[in-house]
Amino acid sequence: MDREVINSSVPSHWYNLNADFPEPLPPALHPGTREPLGPEDLAPLFPMALIMQEVSTERYIEIPDEVRSIYAKWRPSPLLRARRLEQALGTEARIYYKYEGVSPAGSHKPNTAIPQAWYNREEGITRLTTETGAGQWGASLALACALLGMTCEVWQVRSSYDSKPYRRQQMEVYGSACHPSPSDLTESGRAMLAKDPDTPGSLGMAISEAVEVAANDPQAHYSLGSVLNHVMLHQSVIGQELLVQLETAGEAQADMVFGCVGGGSNLGGLSFPLIGQNLREGTTTEVVACEPSACPTITEGEYRYDFGDVAGLTPLLKMHTLGSDFVPPPIHAGGLRYHGMAPMVSHAVNLGLMSAIAVDQDDAFAAGVQFARTEGIIPAPESTHAVAGAVEYAKRAAADEVIVIGLSGNGVLDLPAYQGYTG
């Protein structure tokens, strides 16, 4: 009988696409001087090891033993053959999915939360702060801090804090504090509340609160769950495993890879090792970024320097952007509601190393329901965008094409989002 799960071992190194880009990545700029950022500009918020990873052009960076031993609690994440989906679609292409929902937090986010917490602890930091929207990132950092004996404080956008209690409760089980943002615990929060006591909050405001607390406590640092180069690096465990698993499955290469993109960390982690192989060894894997048509950062945005936040306090990043004041509509795939894109993903698109499509929410959920009923796993709303891209492609794929879906997480805590799509 076929083994449907193809395993490998946990990679020993992360892969860094900055070693193989045919042109170097445009640097981040200081928001005041517009000069390239130096390490000292980031030192108040991040440990030096992560700052060095942020600017590194080394191809492989060793994963610390303790980080690997925690990864090994759920990694390698399984690569599964989607035979029942193939049958339902009547395709002769072979469809696989790389499933990150097996992590204790239910998504790919712990892949970077664990090393971020670890490098901070190595440099004497005992407390991390961050912001979270729906809560996937907050829960992942809370998990990392629990396992590494650190404390974690999360500012969650008030509207999510009130309407989605499960993720907050998850953070609390892990021993973290979760505050609704804006809160009366910070200067910026108090100012916001004075202006509008009933504000539902925003990710931009939550960032300001988390950064303020970290900047004022020498034992604390701030942690970011996507966009930055060191986050793409940590997520490369996904694609590193995928390369080995495809070989184990007897596939010469993935012909098409579909992943969802919000900030870009899941798709970057999944695809960069394969793009690197294209550049070094001449494989011809095509990578398709699947973004929501309600927030079409790559397909409709401009490629230029822009701020990462609404207030214009972050460094300037060269990226695809809808403008830092763009407010995406409240789609269910909260993790894809970001005006910008990871600079490394944007650079890869700009160099023609990957392409992008926009997917309507209705099509995404229809594909998610079909996937659940054939493969059994209910995809996260974010991941349904990748499923929809792959399903649409598979209908016209040639026989023997190899299609890989990046299934970034499960939708167990997003089940209410499926209502209206299950008929």
What is the distance between the alpha carbons of residues 306 and 327, in angstroms, rounded to a whole number?
15
Count Cβ atoms within 10 A of the Cβ of residue 13 and give its class: 0-12 exposed, 13-18 middle, 19 or more buried: middle
Is 68 near a second copy (CB under 8 A)? yes
Which of 41, 122, 172, 217: binder of a second copy (CB under 8 A)?
Answer: 172
Q: Which is nearer to a second copy, 275 or 388 (CB)?
A: 388
Restricted to residues 389-418, the positions that interact with a second copy (CB under 8 A) are 412-413, 415-416, 418
Q: Which is nearer to a second copy, 29 or 177 (CB)?
A: 177
Is 90 near a second copy (CB under 8 A)? no
Give the per-residue contact string, 137-166, with a second copy (x = CB under 8 A; - = no).
------x--xx-----------------xx
Which of 26, 27, 31, 104: binder of a second copy (CB under 8 A)?
Answer: 104
Which of 72, 311, 327, 351: binder of a second copy (CB under 8 A)?
Answer: 72
Q: Which is nearer to a second copy, 211 or 378 (CB)?
A: 378
Which of 377, 387, 403, 407: binder of a second copy (CB under 8 A)?
Answer: 377
Is 313 near a second copy (CB under 8 A)? no
Instruction: Identify which of 3, 2, 7, 418 has the alpha carbon closest to the alpha carbon of residue 246.
Output: 7
Q: Which is nearer to a second copy, 140 or 346 (CB)?
A: 140
Positions touching a second copy (CB under 8 A) are 1-5, 7, 9-10, 65, 68-70, 72-74, 80, 83-84, 102, 104, 106, 143, 146-147, 165-166, 169-170, 172-175, 369, 372-378, 412-413, 415-416, 418-419, 422
